[in-house]
Structure 1
Amino acid sequence: WVLELVYPLALVEIAAGESLELSGDVRLEAWKTPHTDESLAYAVRDADAHLVYTGDTGPSDDLARWAKGCDLLLAECSLPDNRAIAIHLSPTQAGTLARAAGARRLVLTHFYPAIEATDPTSVAARAFGGEVLAANDGDRFTIGVD
């Protein structure tokens, strides 16, 4: 299921609170999330664009502060509100995180089967107040361009 690489790949580990220059002024940053000891959120940013991917996480005011002002918040949204647990986000919690972070757009991902019978984007949009999309394999999003 892994395609043959057509470009060089280097694996570099970074820890929570660290950052790495990727190219020019593009940086990768890592932040600890409340899930497991190893769980991290990642941000990719330059002077004009800021993408945050939560990875596995529960609700976190610290994560919202760290993600402040992101153009796109790609947030896990595993379970419906009525089955919420502390180490994963529900649609309302993902929307609340996006609102607290001041994100421009919210894209939901990491859906467990229990959420498939619901409409997580509508629920998250009520908490967020902005554009919410559900991620699909192959999706592409443009950020940092008005």
Structure 2
Amino acid sequence: MMVGIEVPAAVDGSWAVSPGRRRNMQANRSRDTGPELALRKLLHARGLRYRIAARPLPALRRTVDLVFRRARVAVFMDGCYWHGCPEHYRVPKQHTGYWSVKIATNVERDRDTDTRLLEAGWTVLRFWEHEDPEECAQTAWEAVHRAIARAEPT
């Protein structure tokens, strides 16, 4: 329990406040979301190969949605709710304190992940789930090809 935040009683040993809420939260995917699958399909069709939900840095206990190891490019497809999209995130009506802290922590962790990857020489791309997959794929394709071209000896 977080200090100063009231967390409702759990259902059946879970943190969820009701069986329905528990089912709803369990249905949220951490990978293979619709926007992520659309991006992957487009990148694969353009000839790019990548690792899915991989750790780019062994010491960093965080995974990246798409990892292009050779190019050192990390691609994230962030959900508007879970990552606090400035355009679409809305504070929930129930348990506001808990969720506001949760989302703020996610955003803080995202920035920390970006910083660590950048310091290690990676290119970091973050896309929102509401962005056009074609545009995201084009941006990622260009970043991967630029990184590979820089790495090749002349």
- TM (normalized to structure 2)? 0.31
* Greater helix proportion: 2
* Greater strand proportion: 1
Larger Rg: 1 or 2? 2
